């Protein structure tokens, strides 16, 4: 277990300067996530068009570097993608953190791949997986209009 693998430059950058941390204009879906034991909170907003394309996505929230960076990275990667692709990325991402499996998405650009892979070190810190997955599960709830608050501590 190496701290440098967990706190990579990309993560620190996204943690300190999160992208899309606002309510995006004209959002038509949103959902909340809350990990009450540690206090991480996220609110994901997205604009989904009729073709189920994620036209815009943003988040608000508070939490540790991992949870904020993961939410920020998620918005960067998912913005503009079709929901089906986004869902595939999400499933891949969660499997990577939980099972240690490799990403099997071909459609990601090299930059996107590097960015999402910066979170792969989290799998070595089981206590922190819940931080990294909170925003992603919340995104899914938003698309599905699931009003139940997401909790990844369970």
Instruction: Give contact residues for another protein (rule: CB under 8 A).
Output: 1, 3-4, 6-7, 12, 16, 37-41, 62-66, 68, 125, 127-128, 131
Range 103-108 contact pairs with CB under 8 angstroms and sequence separation of 24 or more: 108/77
Phi, psi of 146 (to 5 degrees): -85, 115
Nearer to another protein, 33 or 63 (CB): 63
Q: How far is the CB of 124 from another protein (least distance, A)?
A: 11
- The 8-class DSSP code of residue 36 comes to T
Question: HSE (CB half, 13 Å, CA atoms) of 99?
Answer: 8
Q: How far is the CB of 121 from another protein (least distance, A)?
A: 11
Nearer to another protein, 55 or 149 (CB): 149
Nearer to another protein, 83 or 120 (CB): 120
- Residues 44 and 139: beta-carbon distance below 8 Å: yes
Q: How far is the CB of 16 from another protein (least distance, A)?
A: 7
Nearer to another protein, 109 or 154 (CB): 154
Question: HSE (CB half, 13 Å, CA atoms) of 127?
Answer: 4
Q: How far is the CB of 153 from another protein (least distance, A)?
A: 11
Distance CA 31, CA 40 (A): 14
């Amino acid at each position: 277990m190496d701290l440098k693998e967990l706190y990579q430059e990309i993560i620190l950058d996204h943690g300190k300067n999160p992208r899309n941390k606002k309510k995006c204009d004209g959002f038509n879906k949103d959902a909340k996530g809350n990990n009450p034991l540690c206090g991480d909170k996220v609110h994901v907003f997205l604009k989904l068009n009729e073709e189920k394309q994620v036209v815009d996505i943003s988040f608000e929230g508070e939490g540790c570097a991992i949870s904020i960076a993961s939410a920020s990275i998620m918005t960067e990667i998912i913005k503009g993608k079709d929901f089906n692709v986004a869902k595939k990325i999400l499933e891949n991402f969660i499997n990577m953190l939980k099972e240690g499996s490799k990403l099997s998405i071909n459609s990601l650009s090299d930059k996107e791949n590097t960015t999402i892979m910066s979170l792969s070190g989290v799998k070595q810190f089981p206590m922190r997986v819940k931080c990294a997955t909170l925003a992603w599960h919340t995104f899914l709830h938003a698309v599905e209009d699931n009003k139940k608050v997401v909790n990844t501590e369970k």
